[in-house]
Structure 1
């Protein structure tokens, strides 16, 4: 089984409600943080997560 990680919010650093596998690729994904109520457009190619806004 592949490792899954919670996506952290790029603004406040808290966990969001989304998990991704270590080999997942996301392009232009809208990430919403329930704590800071901000929505961020991200692209992820590899873990560890690097945010491209």
Structure 2
């Protein structure tokens, strides 16, 4: 994998991490009940591709 591909993989991981952080912050401060739970689960599930992109960018 080229260095540029690794760079883009790390940018995607950073973007997903920012999105997950915003989503969990929004869910905890502005929502209640089932919506809060759904948004939190979505933010948690975003960490699977974040982890994969992170591993790809390191190797």
Instruction: State TM-score, norm by structure 2.
Output: 0.21
More helix by share: 2
* Higher Cα Rg, which structure: 2
**Greater strand share, 1 or 2?**
1
